[in-house]
Amino acid sequence: MRSVAMVLGLILIVSVLFEAFETMLLPRRVTRAIRMTRLFYNTSWKLWATMAGWIGSAHRRSSVLSYFGPLSLLVLLCLWALALILGFALVQWASGAILRGVVEPPAGFGHYAYFSGVTFFTLGYGDITPEGSLARALAVLETGIGFGFLALVIGYLPVLYQAFSKREVTINLFDARAGSPPTAGTLLARNARYGNLELLTQFLAEWERWAAELLESHISFPVLIFYRSQHDNQSWLAALTAILDASALVMAGVPGAARTQAYLTFAMARHVAVDLSQVVLARPVEPPEDRLSPDRLRLLRARLRESGLELAEGALAENRLTEFRAMYEPFVQALSDRFLMPLPPIVTQGDPVDNWQTSAWMRRARGIGQLRAAEPGDDHA
């Protein structure tokens, strides 16, 4: 019995330490199929998403889903700590370590668990002390691991939230450029309407870098995938999809635009979609409906034409656009299904109202939700 407890305790200690190393320190994708952290997130997210699905209000459902990322991280850290405490308690008990103090030998397993917890968190009450070289060595080892674990957590959280903040700042900048939710049609139309189509190259270059940073941060800190944006109509997945849509449109049918930069941005953004799908084991699936049906494509052409931008027509342009969309839509759809983040349309039916143009108070008043702010180039601007 004690030999089994010894093996189980050592497995718990080594497994948790390795999991913590892979999750918080290893800056690359882990391809190992069997992982405690992956099992925890797959199970807990399914339960949380199912619970959120019972909520009728879309706003409340989104709010509940936003709690999962931070809360799951706290629960995971607590589970790691409990597993290490239990592992060392099993090893101490299996080794026959003698505990002195408020308990007389032979000590029960509850006393070993209490001693392990006090030692791990370096409380140092002194009411129970180990006796013997092995017991003292194990106590010193657990103290060092506990101190290092707490220091690692303290250093990990600020880095995690810095990466989240950097991601969200760029997403918020997308609001006035592409609407909320962001759409490729709005992005191209506003660039053309404002007379800044020549700045599209610079814009796409900035989003190429954002996509690269997104890939690095979400592979280094996978829990960021579950962190949702401040507004219900924004998300990192919606922004990524809008950039892919815009890049595909530019490459397929925007004459005179920055096709080279669009290709580079498209390649980087698709790389993000594919790699993150592999990280979370989300198999690509076809969208339930055509995101750019013939009717929507005609609407898109009309919107761009109103803004002074002619989208290339003909079978060749449409086939190229279809081929580009087939390269990324199954992957972003898989991510959308997995994390309950809706994909944005390529073109909206009406004029979009950006988040900066309205507020919760304004939305309660009739008609004010249709506010249209003065735009560059308007006579009344």
Residue 140 has pLDDT above 80, yes or no: yes
Maximum CA pair distance of the chain? 89
Beta bridge partners of 98: 131
pLDDT tens, residue by residue, 260-272: 899 999 999 999 9
Residue 96 has pLDDT above 90, yes or no: no
Beta bridge partners of 129: 100
Position 314 scores a pLDDT of 83
CA 193 remoteness from chain centre: 33
pLDDT tens, residue by residue, 8-62: 999 999 999 998 888 888 777 766 667 788 889 989 999 999 999 898 888 899 9
Alpha helices in the chain, H assignment, sequence order: 2-24, 36-53, 58-94, 109-120, 133-178, 184-193, 200-220, 236-253, 259-279, 294-306, 315-326, 329-339, 360-363
The model carries a pTM of: 0.85
pLDDT tens, residue by residue, 149-160: 889 888 888 999
**What percent of the chain clears pLDDT 70, i.e. is strictly above it?**
90
Number of Cα atoms under 13 Å in the Cβ half of residue 4: 1
